[in-house]
A and B are shown apart, each in its own frame.
Chain A
Amino acid sequence: GENVEQHPSTLSVQEGDSAVIKCTYSDSASNYFPWYKQELGKGPQLIIDIRSNVGEKKDQRIAVTLNKTAKHFSLHITETQPEDSAVYFCAALLLTGFQKLVFGTGTRLLVSP
């Protein structure tokens, strides 16, 4: 089945720095890659997503890049702020059988003032 690997597991940056989180997936048929932000005790919130027919997408300080050939995608956060501190999950949509999202293992981002 689909497997999504995510790195790093923890990431500490200073306010204003950039943060990059990387994910790889195994199923070449996957075509939808969302990123979620999860704060403590809350459900995940979609922050950005990308479809396989696009190589890059940007929304203000957040961008996602996708390399279909290498089967990896990355989240880029620029000008980080303390409120960006949270756990971030990547996911890939598994198209075989029942369509379902497969999540990465998560990255705990800590932005220090």
Chain B
Amino acid sequence: GAVVSQHPSWVICKSGTSVKIECRSLDFQATTMFWYRQFPKQSLMLMATSNEGSKATYEQGVEKDKFLINHASLTLSTLTVTSAHPEDSSFYICSAPGTGGILYGYTFGSGTRLTVV
């Protein structure tokens, strides 16, 4: 089945630094990648949608200059948290529609636990 590989699985960084999270579709082409943020004991909240070869679409309230998304190829999408602060500490998860399109299921990455100290 479709697999989305997400790295790193966890990262600790200092306040003010930037962190890049990568998601790769291993056995299919992901023209779209969804990025979610999940705080402890809460649901997944969509942050942005990236589309290969075009600008990402950000949800209301998500700072596009802080959460930089790049979807440079059909198999790689990245999320960079710039100038990270402790309040950015969260679990970040990517997801892509599987082969056949959106109505054929979404595959999620394994998530990245970001801790900003």
Residues of chain A whose beta carbon lies under 8 Å from any beta carbon of chain B: 31-32, 34, 36, 41-46, 49, 51, 89, 93, 98-106
B 10-54 contacts with A by CB, 8 A: 34, 41-46, 49
Count B interface residues, CB 8 Å.
Answer: 23
The smallest beta-carbon distance between B44 and chain A, in angstroms, is 5
In the complex with contacts A98-B49, A98-B57, A101-B34, A44-B105 CB distance below 8 A: no
Complex CA gap A89/B105 in Å reads 14
The smallest beta-carbon distance between B98 and chain A, in angstroms, is 9
In the complex with contacts A42-B110, A105-B43, A106-B43, A100-B34 CB distance below 8 A: yes
Is there contact, CB below 8 Å, between A44 and B103? no
Q: What is the chain A residue whose CB lies nearest that of B93? A: A43
- Decide if the interface of chain A is mainly helix, strand, loop or mixed: strand
Is there contact, CB below 8 Å, between A93 and B108? no
Residues of chain B whose beta carbon lies under 8 Å from any beta carbon of chain A: 6, 34, 41-46, 49, 57, 91, 93, 95, 102-103, 105-111, 113
Q: For residue A89, which residues in chain B have a CB less than 8 angstroms away from its CB?
A: 43-44
Q: What is the chain A residue whose CB lies nearest that of B57? A: A98
Complex CA gap A106/B45 in Å reads 12
Complex CA gap A36/B108 in Å reads 10
Is there contact, CB below 8 Å, between A44 and B44? yes
Which of the listed residues A34, A43, A49, A98 has the most CB atoms from chain B within 10 Å of its own CB? A43
Is there contact, CB below 8 Å, between B44 and A42? no
